[in-house]
Structure 1
Amino acid sequence: MDTTMRAAVAERPGPPEVLRVMDVPLPRLRPGWTSVQVRAFGVNRSELMTRQGHSPGARFPRILGIECVGIVAQSAALRQGTTVAAVMGEMGRAFDGGYAEYALLPDSLLIPLTTTLDWATLGAIPQAYLTALGSLAALAPADGGVLLVRGGSSSVGLAALSLARDHGLRTIATTRNPAKAGLLLARGAGHVVVGQDRLPVRPDYILDLVGASTVAESLRLVAPGGTVCVAGTLGGAWTIPDFEPVAMIPSGTKLTAFHSDDLRGPAGAKALQQIVDGVAEGRYDANLDRVFTLDEIADAHRYMEANQATGKVVVRL
């Protein structure tokens, strides 16, 4: 029986080169945890920030990865061979995450799924779509409003554009890259704003995936009485310096956020199954941009860090 597995280990904070694929001991099963054979995982912006040393509390060396999909290998809670997804819950920060052939994960994080989607496609869905779904719920839109998605070409942004149709929302998406405008329109954006171009209207709702660096601006852009939801860190910052709520939040405007942990495990199970089914039926797009191998994990980080992706970057094992 094998006692080791291959994993991408961040040995210390730093550039993509600190990610080394090596043989490490197989994690040992313990009560309340399940061993998952990882078949694919999405690469996320927060993992880049953890790798760079910006995640509070993360210790190195660490196997990163805040999400994965795969098959139950050993468990007291789930049948062996069950297809599962896992998202967040301090994966890849407080304990080793999905950048490995096997991940030992808390039972409470696992979402059993029934699907015939291939692993790369399935791996593109969980974090992106659950974040988009939860963010739209936090915005609580009324039918017929206008939604602005800042960071529209990200995987979460594209998922939000797909889900916005379910709410009858008209959509505007932003991107800094004019070459991405065509895909945004094809994936559901009613209008695309490139760079510093002016908005055609003041949106009723803003999903800000850029994060801390643009929150103050989003609060100025939203229509009176509108809502801004912050649910991303594409701008590379966790905090808003010198934030003055009374001065920066217009009267009647609402500022909220979505935390991915809110839809982890059983809380997100029904919604994720419906989205996976919707992708299989062609109602939603997985927004899969590019697939890498585990040996190419540093290249995957470089690709994302250079903002080359339009949609989800996935590693297939």
Structure 2
Amino acid sequence: MSIATARAAAAAPLPAEARALRFAAFGGPEVLSCGRVPLAPAAPGEALVAVRAASINPSDVKNVAGRMKQTVPPRTPGRDFAGVVVDGPDAWLGAEVWGTGGDVGFVRDGSHAEYLRIPVEALSRKPANLSFAEAGAVGVNYVTALIALDYAEVKPGEVVLVIGATGGVGGAACGVAAGRGARVIAACRGAPAEGSPARHSTGEFVDLQSQDLGAAMAAMTGGKGVDVVLDCVGRPDLVEAAIAALGFRGRLIAISGTPGDQVRLELIPFYRRECRLIGLDSLKRKAADCADLMDALRPGFEAGTYPAPAIAELIPLSRGAEGYTAVARGTRGRVVLDMQG
């Protein structure tokens, strides 16, 4: 979309109603329906974004299922988005934007709708070289990966092991770590697809279905261990193997887990190697917090350093429940809603 076209669209009168994916009670994808809701102009301090595309994240599926205590239905879900500002401050009208937030779709109506109201502070300009579908699939995954690697203070030349590299956050972490000059080892079940971000970022893989993670790390690092592990899976046996694989002053960032699961940690070798175990919950960052992170990610995409998300399915908003079903069953690649469909 050209700047002139975007500004013309922003100047057009807003409709009285717009389509949105809604749920009135918690449950599976079947509780979602696409209906029309009233549309009001942006309030002071807000912007109204005409959403063009928005990915469906596993956390969105969990949200609809009732696993997020902060959510009260009825609600429009959806965290990530890319679109055009159609109401708000003059400086932003017609701007192509992207974003995400731990409040969007949880304590305020989300992005799985034709329009999204967000604070002006949550606006970030979309990279021009990404399509709306690609930009709308960046948010949660790349923001989480960026925060994780910042926490780990990853340096050029360090070895970064990503467990769950074919998932959204895992693939993003491979891209960001490689962009920082790290050596990336990608661990996943089976072989990553040719177009996956992990393939773009590294040629070193561990197949968790056929290889022992601990033995593989010892062989691939000459017994020195890895500097950083980003665990996107949370399976206790893999966490224990990853902790054992940490080298001196190694850092493990945990972003996933299953309620009730416990991990055994042998403290003596852990503290003698001066290792660190760090938890990360991206839901703690509101959309306004994430705007700075999206700004920080933009140059990497514009330069081609970071790989664009792999889009597995582009689904019309009217069939949004089908998209949630696909994510719930574990589709590889991003499932994205097209708001114009």
TM-score when normalising by structure 1: 0.86
Q: Supply the AA of the counterpart residue of 2:330.
A: N
Give the Cα–Cα distance (whole angstroms) in 1 for the partners of residues 305 and 36 of structure 2: 40
Q: Supply the AA of the counterpart residue of 1:227.
A: R
SS at match of 2:270: coil
Q: Contact conserved, 1:11 with 1:20, CA < 8 A, in 2?
A: no
Corresponding residue for residue 297 of structure 2: 272
Give the Cα–Cα distance (whole angstroms) in 2 for the partners of residues 212 and 67 of structure 1: 26
SS at match of 2:226: coil
Q: Which stretch shows the higher mean deviation, 47-56 or 185-194?
A: 185-194
Give the Cα–Cα distance (whole angstroms) in 2 for the partners of residues 26 and 246 of structure 1: 56
* Residues 306/221 of structure 1: CA separation in 2 closer, same or farther (3 Å cut): farther
SS at match of 1:63: coil
Report deviation, 1:205. Answer: 0.9
Corresponding residue for residue 117 of structure 2: 104
Q: Which stretch shows the higher mean deviation, 50-59 or 155-164?
A: 155-164
Query: 1:163 aligned to 176, 189, 197, which one?
Result: 176
Corresponding residue for residue 50 of structure 1: 63
* Residues 71/220 of structure 1: CA separation in 2 closer, same or farther (3 Å cut): same
Give the Cα–Cα distance (whole angstroms) in 1 for the partners of residues 24 and 158 of structure 2: 47
Corresponding residue for residue 164 of structure 2: 151
Q: Contact conserved, 1:40 with 1:316, CA < 8 A, in 2?
A: yes
* Residues 293/108 of structure 1: CA separation in 2 closer, same or farther (3 Å cut): same
Give the Cα–Cα distance (whole angstroms) in 2 for the partners of residues 267 and 227 of structure 1: 25
Corresponding residue for residue 180 of structure 1: 192
* Residues 227/9 of structure 1: CA separation in 2 closer, same or farther (3 Å cut): same
Give the Cα–Cα distance (whole angstroms) in 1 for the partners of residues 241 and 142 of structure 2: 25
Q: Which stretch shows the higher mean deviation, 28-37 or 108-117?
A: 108-117
Give the Cα–Cα distance (whole angstroms) in 1 for the partners of residues 83 and 21 of structure 2: 17
SS at match of 2:154: coil
SS at match of 2:124: strand
TM-score when normalising by structure 2: 0.80
Give the Cα–Cα distance (whole angstroms) in 2 for the partners of residues 84 and 248 of structure 1: 49
Q: Supply the AA of the counterpart residue of 2:252.
A: V
Answering whether residue 32 of structure 2 is matched by residue 19 of structure 1, we say: yes
Q: Which stretch shows the higher mean deviation, 212-221 or 127-136?
A: 212-221
- Structure 1 unmatched runs, 5+: none
Query: 2:42 aligned to 29, 48, 51, which one?
Result: 29
SS at match of 2:108: coil
Corresponding residue for residue 304 of structure 1: 327
SS at match of 1:38: strand
Q: Supply the AA of the counterpart residue of 2:19.
A: R
- Structure 2 unmatched runs, 5+: 1-13, 218-224
Q: Contact conserved, 2:101 with 2:290, CA < 8 A, in 1?
A: no
Report deviation, 1:306. Answer: 1.5
Alignment RMSD, CA only? 2.7
* Residues 180/89 of structure 1: CA separation in 2 closer, same or farther (3 Å cut): closer
Larger radius of gyration: 2
